[in-house]
């Protein structure tokens, strides 16, 4: 694994070129990201935890191609690095074009200061339009997901497998298994855990997904009995928010993750 260490006066983070993925981060003494205790980053397999990048499609593919695209399982080029930031790029190659026949350049910048900031850009280098979906599939450490809630989605359409579409009323509770998609959400969401609040702020990433399999996670080898300890709150462009780029055009989306102070006990 080619790891990259970021530091700032507020904390530290570890990244890997495999998937251009943030694996862990601590800001002002508070762990910001959850990494599965069963994850083996050194094996170059898909890594459960941190912030995987799902691209150029999110979720299951209608033709049975790998879920969440191929970007999270490729080695990205590290083109720029300082103590507090790194920039990775990925472009089309023969293997990628066999799955997604487009010429593109993707760039992910990760910065650490008072927040962990992600800037994701995609350029269409082809002679025809391309359409993609994507998400920053963030795993947050929450102690016990059954005692958490996500605010900022009140009044937004909620889609969930096995359930009728409905308009969300109030905060999203996560005391039961959840896999809920909001095609269009507010730029700022708050994840309230038993001890602190994580702020998730975005620009040009209107979609949100909230996921935890509950006890069903015990059947997933790299989750097992650790499932209550995390909650995924993902941001990107999914469903009706898919991005279409004309030849030569670029997309740019941003996400900031930060923490509010721990509650006094």
What pLDDT sits at residue 62? 81
d(CA 30, CA 186): 25
Structure confidence at residue 236 (pLDDT): 98
Average pLDDT over residues 182-208: 97
Question: Quick one: average pLDDT of 53-80?
Answer: 92
pLDDT average, residue stretch 46-71: 92
3-259 is classed CATH 2.70.98.10: yes
Q: Parse the chain into domains and list their residue ranges.
A: 3-259
DSSP 3-state assignment of 96?
helix
112-144 tens-digit pLDDT: 999 999 999 999 999 999 999 999 999 999 999
Please give the pLDDT value at position 262. 57
Higher pLDDT, 263 or 240: 240
pLDDT band at residue 71 using 50, 70 and 90 as cut-offs: very high
Alpha helices in the chain (DSSP H): 94-99
The pLDDT > 90 percentage for the chain reads 88
Contact 241, 131 (CB under 8 A): no
- The pTM for the full model equals 0.95
Label residue 43 by pLDDT band (50, 70, 90): confident
What is the rounded average pLDDT of the residues 56-77?
Answer: 91
d(CA 81, CA 264) in angstroms, rounded, equals 37
Alpha helices, DSSP H only, in 130-229? none
What mean pLDDT value characterizes the chain? Answer: 94
263: confidence class by pLDDT, cuts 50, 70, 90? low
pLDDT digits (tens, 9 = 90+) for 197-256: 999 999 999 999 999 999 999 999 999 999 999 999 999 999 999 999 999 999 999 999
Burial 89-101 (b: 16+ CB within 10 A, else e): bbebeeebeeebe
For the chain, how far is it from start to end, CA to CA, in angstroms? 40
Half-sphere exposure of 51 (CA within 13 A, CB side): 30
What is the pLDDT, as a whole number, of residue 265? 45
Predicted confidence (pLDDT) at residue 261 exceeds the cutoff of 90: no
Higher pLDDT, 161 or 156: 156
Residue at token pair 């299951």: 60
Question: In this predicted structure, what is the pLDDT of residue 213?
Answer: 96
Contact 182, 135 (CB under 8 A): no
Specify the pLDDT at position 161.
84
Percent pLDDT > 70 in the chain is 98
């Amino acid at each position: 694994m080619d790891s990259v260490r970021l530091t700032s006066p507020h904390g530290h983070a570890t990244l890997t070129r495999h998937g251009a993925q943030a694996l862990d981060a601590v800001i002002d003494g508070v762990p910001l990201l959850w990494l599965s205790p069963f994850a083996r980053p050194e094996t170059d397999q898909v890594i459960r935890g941190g912030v995987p990048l799902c691209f150029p499609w999110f979720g299951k593919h209608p033709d049975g191609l790998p879920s969440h695209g191929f970007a999270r399982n490729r080695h990205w080029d590290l083109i720029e690095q300082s103590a507090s930031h790194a920039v990775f790029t990925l472009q089309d190659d023969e293997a990628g074009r066999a799955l997604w026949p487009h010429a593109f350049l993707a760039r992910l910048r990760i910065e650490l200061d008072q927040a962990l900031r992600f800037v994701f850009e995609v350029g269409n280098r082809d002679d025809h339009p391309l359409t993609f979906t994507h998400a920053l599939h963030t795993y947050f450490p929450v102690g016990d997901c059954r005692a958490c809630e996500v605010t900022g989605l009140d009044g937004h359409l909620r889609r969930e497998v096995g359930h009728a579409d409905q308009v969300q009323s109030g905060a999203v509770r996560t005391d039961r298994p959840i896999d809920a998609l909001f095609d269009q959400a507010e730029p700022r969401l708050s994840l309230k855990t038993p001890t602190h609040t994580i702020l998730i702020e975005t620009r040009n990433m209107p979609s949100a997904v909230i996921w935890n399999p509950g006890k069903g996670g015990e059947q997933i080898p790299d989750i097992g009995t650790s499932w209550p300890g995390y909650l995924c709150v993902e941001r990107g462009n999914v469903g009706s928010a898919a991005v279409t780029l004309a030849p030569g055009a670029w997309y740019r989306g941003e996400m900031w993750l930060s923490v509010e102070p721990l509650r006094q006990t």
